[in-house]
Chain A
Amino acid sequence: MRNYMKTHTGLTVIIAAAILLQGISAMQYYYTRSLLADELEKRAESELSVKAVIVKNSLNMSENSLIDHIWNLKRNIIHPDSSYQVMEWVLRSHPNLTGCWVAFVPDYFPERGRLFEPFAWWENGTIKKAEIAAEGRDYTQNRYYKTVYANDAPMWTEAYREVLTDMNLVTYIVPIHDSKDNIIAMFGLDMSVDQMGDTLNYRHIYPSSYNFLLTETGQLLAGPKHKSDKEKAKMEHVINMINDSTVEKSLSNSGRSSVFPMKDADGDEGMVFYADLKGEPKWKIAVVCYDKEVYAKLTKMRRTMGLMTLLALLVLGLIIARFAKNDRKLQKAKVEQERIGSELRIATNIQKEMLPKTFPPYPERNDIDIYGMLIPAREVGGDIYDFFLRDEKLFFCIGDVSGKGVPSAMVMAMIHSLFRMASAHESNPARIMQTINETSCEGNESNMFVTLFIGVLDLPTGHLRYCDAGHDAPFILSEKGKVNSEKYATAIDVQPNLPVGVFDDFTYSMQETQIAPESTIILYTDGLTEAKRAPKQMFGLQRTEEVLSKCALQHLMPRQVLEAISEEVRTFVGDAEQSDDLTMLAIRYTPQRFETTLAETLVLKNDVHEVTRFSNFMKSVTEKLGIEKSLAHQLRLAVEEAVVNVIDYAYPIGTEGDITVKMMSNSHTLRFQIIDSGVAFDPTMKEKADTTLSAEDRQIGGLGILLVRELMDSINYERMDGKNVLTLIKHIKQTGYEHNN
């Protein structure tokens, strides 16, 4: 829909631009056309006047040829034939003249009859002479003769076609007077107007335009030499239109010229301009111009403009398309960004899910209280903390992956999995670290490393084993000041092992310490000590120690301690941007005293046959405690399996050793301890048998530890003072009998 709208808008813009450009083009066209029309009128009018002058000059020259010879004629008039010589002179004075004559009034030369008309004319390059009245032509009846005679003034005749020579001729007639001013003859000359047509069309204002001359009555006098009848017909059509006075229209700038539009047989449009010649004869001169030539440049311009408009629209279209494409790209990038953003949010959640997030994590226990906090500097962080309980041991770690963002987060996730996997069957933090290091060094192309602290706190004893791989040493808070007589917060001693991920063959060393009751272990990443409010102004170790001491003195619980620290950091940093993940883990250890109500001890030799003694011991103990048969059965089985395990493995074959079984009970707990001084052996690291396999696949081993784990509530192994101590605990409901009484 969005794209459709975009395309739609693009189309609208193109259409609008097309209309605008067309409008501009049309305006320009009509403006230019009217300019060209004005120009045409001016040119046509000037053409008409120039050509009129040419015609007039030609006529005047002919008139003057005749007038110039009037005195010669009069001087020689005494002899009838003397006029031939004058006529010859006249004919030779101008090339347009075809003939010359004198028509004497009747009976002027009686000896030559009533009428006498000598005539000289050009024929095949020579001048011929003859008296033509003798042929019976009565020139006195000619209307021109009569007119000139009556008006006693020279005149031009209308054009006529001379059949003999096939020429269009006009004749100029001048009356000749004697000394008494009586008319004695008419002196006339014939002029060809055919040449005049050539003269008029010698040059045109436009190549295909043409000029022509019309007589008073609208007869064609002289025009272009048309090659075809069709062209002649076209001209005839124009002449008819001129003669039809209704079409004419006067030109504005002069009263003499007229103009009208025309369309010829071929459909070619044009304009006809015509004007009257000044004075006599009353001829009309016309010029015809064709639009296609007048507006040829305009048409060309219009075509060019059209092409340019198309080109402009095309370019505009391309620009719009490009914009739309860019817009789509932008839209796509935005979607992509949103996708990455949402994936990052999911990654943040996954990372959060990975870490323990329920606090307090073990509400049923009163010996530990834990609180953890991870404030990432970005959506995903490279810090990690984790903890879990296994066999009455608290496994915990804190780490800081080099770098920040997604790559660090991925390494962090890997370290998290490795920590869980490596510590599933291993309670030695150095060996757990070793496993994590070896695995994470494999294919560590990006050379990322992790500072990591792993601790294993034995909850029954408070014995802490730990391994530090280049991480900041945790603090121990002791409100009683027992850790150090002067300090309430002390960093524990750590050996500088290499961070994880550097060398796969590095050997990590384990350290041990005893955690006093009511102490709190504080683990943190350098996001705490290196929290900056300005470059080189860091929260620092000293400030950390001070804050922690204060917390210890105030008997703060883990959650309160971490909130107090983060508040201090927030105050210290102020508005500065958080530069690194801030991660902290606080573990408070509060072991409970075991109020024993019954304690029994049995010492066995490492011999399977001793099991019979053990069986009797168990029967006696459960009987004393009033434990019902099924539970007694379960307790006996679990403890027997543990004891047999020790008998089988604690001492080398052939050597004798003691195995002590201690039973302690209070109102709700049964605690069995199996103690031997044999080789260090942790049965909790033994894998349980897989109970889902078929008979063929089932292995003989692993059943003992499986039964111990299934039947008891907890199992704990500790090597103490050169002895293996295995503690099994079963929580019992107070029996109905005891409870009710």
Chain B
Amino acid sequence: MNTTIEEIDGKYYATLNGEMDTAAALEAEEVLKPLYQSNGKDVIIDCTDLEYIASSGLRILLSILKGAKASGSKVVMKGVNDDIKNVFKLTGFISIFEFE
């Protein structure tokens, strides 16, 4: 699992690579934590190479979303594959996240 974040033109870009199981989520959270306070900046999360996500990963995404909503910015999910989209569907996350 490889997780990166960068800020370009006042927007955060996060890239999630590989399989985010519960163990991987622990490490990924350390990287993604700054996004919990996005301070009004939009967050674009690139999931093109994300192959798996467990509920601990979803909790991190929800925390980012809550932070963004609180500061009036938005979170956009990019390149989510069908299996993962199915997980979003089952959890109801499909209706609270924006997809691109």
Contact = CB atoms under 8 A, between A and B. Distances in A.
B63 A700 contact: yes
B52 to A, nearest CB: 7
A640 B96 contact: no
Interface in B9-24: 19, 21-24
A614 B24 CA distance: 12
A489 B87 CA distance: 50
Contacts of A609: 23, 26
Contacts of A686: none
B92 A704 contact: no
Contacts of B19: 615
B90 A710 contact: yes
Contacts of B69: 695-696
A605 to B, nearest CB: 12
**Which of B22, B24, B52 has its CB near the most chain A CB atoms (within 10 A)?**
B22
A696 to B, nearest CB: 6
A680 interface: no
A324 interface: no
Given A641-B55, A703-B55, A703-B58, A612 B87 contact: no
Contact of A691 (B22, B24, B62, B92): B92
Given A629-B83, A637-B87, A704-B55, A692 B92 contact: yes
Interface in A575-618: 608-612, 614-615
Contact of B83 (A633, A644, A691, A703): A633
Classify the interface of chain B: helix, strand, loop or mixed: helix
B32 interface: no
Interface residues of B, number: 25
B90 A707 contact: yes
Interface in A695-720: 695-696, 698, 700, 703-704, 706-707, 710-711
Interface string A256-276: 000000000000000000000
B54 A644 contact: yes
A706 B90 contact: yes
Interface string B78-100: 00001100110011100010000
A694 interface: yes
9 contacts: A609-B23, A634-B86, A641-B55, A693-B92, A696-B66, A698-B66, A703-B55, A703-B59, A704-B55
Interface of A: 608-612, 614-615, 629-630, 633-634, 636-637, 640-641, 644, 689-696, 698, 700, 703-704, 706-707, 710-711
Interface of B: 19, 21-24, 26, 52, 54-56, 58-59, 62-63, 65-66, 69, 82-83, 86-87, 90-92, 96
